[in-house]
Structures are given as structure tokens and as C-alpha cells.
Chains A and B, each alone.
Chain A
Amino acid sequence: MTEPEGQYRLELPAAPGSVALARLFVATLVRMSAGNEEIVADAKLAVSELITEAITGGAGDWVDVLVTAAGPVLEVSVGPIRDVVDSERLDVAAALFPTTAVDREGSRAAFSIHPAPR
């Protein structure tokens, strides 16, 4: 399977139905980078939490997921995060990926995935 390179961006309506699409998008790219289904599951949960936070935090009409492949590392970024409505969602993402952080200035939340070798 060809590993992803560069950036991949998915823009979605800020609506509940978009959460599953965000998961599918991230899961596909993580699978291309790693053969580890546990990491895929963790990434799905983390992005689900962050995109839900964006949608419920008054993002406006659109939210987006940006996945950047930098060598063996994938960075997943979600925005806009206007206001942190529920820090517990961020806590779940951070429990899975300790790199989870909110950039309030940039209005985005992100985490990095270091896929396990196949």
C-alpha cells in the first residue's frame, strides 16, 4: 500500500453527520501508514472527539480535518475550535495521543500519530 505523503484536507458541514466522515477520512490515511488496527481505532476515537468539539463549539457552517504526513508521522488537525465546550473530549484524545493540544490562536486542535511499523 502506498503511504500518504503531503497534506490531505477534508472540509465538512458542521453537522453531526460529519463526525463519521471525519473518522473514515482519518482511518483511511492511518491505515495507509500503519498496519496496526489499534492505532486506527485510537485515531478514529481521537478525531471523533475533536471534530465533535469543533461542531458543538460553534465552529460556524464548516469544519475541517487536515492530515499532514511528515515522514513516518501523521499530524491530524481539526478546526475551527472556537471555544472549548467540553474539555473531557480533549482529555480522551490526549489519553490516546499525549501530543493532543489546542492552538487557541489558530483555533485548531491537533495530535500526532507515530504509526507502528508493519
Chain B
Amino acid sequence: MADALVIETSRGEENAVIAVSGEVDLATAPQLEAAIAAVDAGVVVADLTGVTFIDSTGLRVLIGAHEAARDTGGRFAIVVDDGPVTKLFSITGVGDWLDVHDSLAAATAND
């Protein structure tokens, strides 16, 4: 019953952008995980500015994607605004080591 999670994936020359809207929790996190896994790109950017709620189940998906990218020489970047994702990052401290940006332009600047 979480707000439907809407995921839109777009491919560019150098990267793929996954735009996420809605709530990420135990019910919807598998959908996000599957969407990230389905992208075959060296650089994946998750635009989470449309996320209205996220808990640690969703956070696990992001951490897993970051680690998978690191292990394969790729990159998993995250775009956030001053909302629930940033709040959870702040509480858990993971924002200090995830590749987090405040705009899509900043996230893709080095591609």
C-alpha cells in the first residue's frame, strides 16, 4: 500500500539514469533493486528527488548497488534533494561515503 513506486530508466551515451518516485520500503525495495540490476551501464545515476519516503530496507538497495558498481569498476551515483533520503543518509552516516549529489548535472559531470 506504499505510494506506487514509479521507476523510469533512461540511457545516455555514457550513463543510465534511474528516476525514482514514491515510497521505498519492504514492499517496493525489490522493484528498485530489480530496476538497478537490469541496467547494463558503467555509470548508473539514481535520481531520488521524487522519493517521498525511504527506510533502511531501501537504503540497503542503494548500498548494494554502490558496492556492486565499485566491485565491477563502475559507478553508482545518487541525486537527492533536502528530503527524506537526505534525512536517512544523515541519520545513518552513509551519505559520507556514497556518491551523492544535489543535481543530475553534478552527478553526471565527470562522465
How far is the CB of A62 from the nearest CB of chain B, in Å?
16
Q: Kindly state the interface size class of chain A when it binds its partner.
A: 20 to 34
Interface pair B84/A52, CB less than 8 Å apart: no
Is residue A24 within 8 Å, beta carbon to beta carbon, of the partner chain?
yes
**Contact between chains at A49 and B26 (CB < 8 Å):** no
In the complex, which residue of chain A has the Cβ closest to the Cβ of B92? Answer: A92
B2 interface contact, C-beta 8 A: yes
Residues of chain B contacted by A95 (CB below 8 angstroms): 91-92
Closest to B30 in A: A16
**Interface on A for B, CB 8 Å cutoff?**
16-21, 23-24, 41, 44-45, 48-49, 52, 55-56, 86, 88-89, 91-92, 95-96
Q: Enumerate chain B interface residues (CB-CB to A < 8 A).
A: 1-3, 23, 25-27, 53, 55-57, 84, 87-88, 91-92
Of the A-B pairs whose beta carbons lie under 8 Å apart in the complex, a sample of 30, sorted by A's number, is A16-B25, A16-B27, A17-B1, A17-B27, A19-B25, A20-B2, A20-B3, A20-B25, A20-B27, A21-B1, A23-B25, A23-B53, A41-B87, A45-B53, A45-B84, A45-B88, A48-B25, A48-B53, A49-B55, A52-B25, A52-B55, A52-B56, A52-B57, A55-B26, A56-B26, A88-B56, A88-B92, A89-B55, A91-B92, A92-B56
